[in-house]
Structure 1
């Protein structure tokens, strides 16, 4: 069924930046939904700028509901004009499964042109939280489990280098345009590479934070000076490893007490060390990266930053 936007002349209209802020869907994704799938049809100004009415925003929210229920974006258009009470089709688990398998195969084949195309397509077609939750984080977890048994440093370093360049470009431009609090993002000492830091940085930047990313672990005793010199509002530590008992139970809590900004912990370490970190001075944000970054805002509000 085709969708054609018809808005009364007096309907309030919103530019794409405001719609992105209201819905959490970035402008690149909104354009992809329009051009590739015809999911939305905003009006245009004489100069070609997109303008969205409230029913467009409602439609975008319905798109997100279907995506969050596991419906592939290619199938959403057939569901949007159905009654609100319609049951979701059986989740095509094979869609995400096949995409994960495809991504893992591309990474392990060291096919950088395909990896770049896949990366940009995934971030264009899905909100970043869904792309990370359903695709990138599961693939990284699978690869790290595989590498723990059979290390493949070439594949790991190639993936790290690729993501470092892509995320770095994104951070560079985002940090220039956003006025959000600065997050100092640092890897923990046992993490063999910056994959978790890179994913966390990508998610934090998407949520409107400025991000200073350190993909090699900064000594804990250097954090107070780093926070002061970078004017950081908080420190976010990430790791895909369990980390040592001494670091988790003694060094990290002592470092948190010495700082005048909050320290958050995210990534697999937050799940593996939940019992050790739950009642201490650190803020346990969890291993689900979109949820972990979503927890920053109330934390910063509580600490008086927002």
Structure 2
């Protein structure tokens, strides 16, 4: 609660100042009592400067991988924060729920978990602690699991729809540089490019996501027409030698903006990329976009 006479802010202004959406602010209050705003006679929330500072401290702990259920203890016991061990059990439990609904082909369950995650956490935290680890675990299971193709197709379809909707709405109010994202080849992983698009959008970039890879020779024209700041291509495989050693470097030399690679291909082809004009971003979406920011700055 704020002190009497201090400035008070409505929820939309707190959301603007902190980057935390109103749905999440309300969830932190109702479910975890993390913040306790004042109320107007009509019941509208009003936040003091101290509440905004508390929201920033909540974000600090979430960014360090602390589940929201444990944040209150850390806020209320600042003198003991270094002694409190982060319990990974909460994250493990959430990941297991995701894997269970995918294996059960439960679209309604996926919808519930997706909405719940985004109501409690910033998208970057969802990516680092839930979605990226879930996809990695599923990929390992899918190597020798009956029904893997259907599970993959279900998750791809679900994420393509949800990510597409988020990108559409985010592009309306985000004014950052435009990025073009695509898979490097038709065979490349569809899940990786969707997670990368989410990370880039959450970081404030406008995103044009291509569902089907364009012929390499057309990217130069597309980039110029759209005025894009960078081209990001992803893959989870080695790709062909001709593509990696000749065609991609040639394209990178023709573009007026950076050509970046993301996904496991950056590790598989690390030796070639060390001396290439192509910018490797790694295979962790949030970290990849952070590296991109350093390139574009």
Q: Same fold (TM over 0.5)?
A: yes
2: distance between equivalents of 1:181 and 1:117? 32
Of the candidates 85, 109, 112, which is equivalent to residue 114 of structure 1?
Answer: 109
Residue 176 of structure 1 corresponds to 172
Are residues 1:137 and 2:132 paired? yes
Residue 278 of structure 2 corresponds to 282
Residue 230 of structure 1 corresponds to 226
Q: Deviations over 1:213-254 (max 9, x none)?
A: 012222211101111222222111122223233222222111
Of the candidates 85, 92, 113, which is equivalent to residue 90 of structure 1?
Answer: 85
2: distance between equivalents of 1:66 and 1:132? 16
Secondary structure, counterpart of 2:232 in structure 1: strand
CA gap of 1:293–1:145, structure 2 versus 1, over 3 A, is same
2: distance between equivalents of 1:88 and 1:18? 35
2: distance between equivalents of 1:46 and 1:282? 59
2: distance between equivalents of 1:212 and 1:54? 37
**Aligned partners of 2:258 and 2:278 also within 8 Å:** yes
Matches of residues 1-306 of structure 1 in structure 2 within 5 Å? 5-11=1-7, 13-14=8-9, 16=11, 19-20=14-15, 22-43=17-38, 50-150=45-145, 152-189=148-185, 191-301=187-297
Over the aligned positions, Cα root-mean-square deviation in angstroms equals 2.4
**Aligned partners of 1:70 and 1:92 also within 8 Å:** no
**Aligned partners of 2:38 and 2:46 also within 8 Å:** yes
For structure 2, the residue ranges without an aligned partner over 5 or more in a row are: none
**Aligned partners of 2:267 and 2:282 also within 8 Å:** yes
> What's the offset of the Cα at 1:282?
1.7
Secondary structure, counterpart of 1:78 in structure 2: helix
**Count of residue pairs the alignment pairs up:** 296
**Aligned partners of 1:193 and 1:215 also within 8 Å:** no
2: distance between equivalents of 1:173 and 1:219? 28
**Aligned partners of 2:2 and 2:48 also within 8 Å:** no
**Aligned partners of 2:2 and 2:50 also within 8 Å:** no
Secondary structure, counterpart of 2:209 in structure 1: strand
Secondary structure, counterpart of 1:80 in structure 2: helix
1: distance between equivalents of 2:136 and 2:88? 18
2: distance between equivalents of 1:61 and 1:115? 29
2: distance between equivalents of 1:268 and 1:117? 30
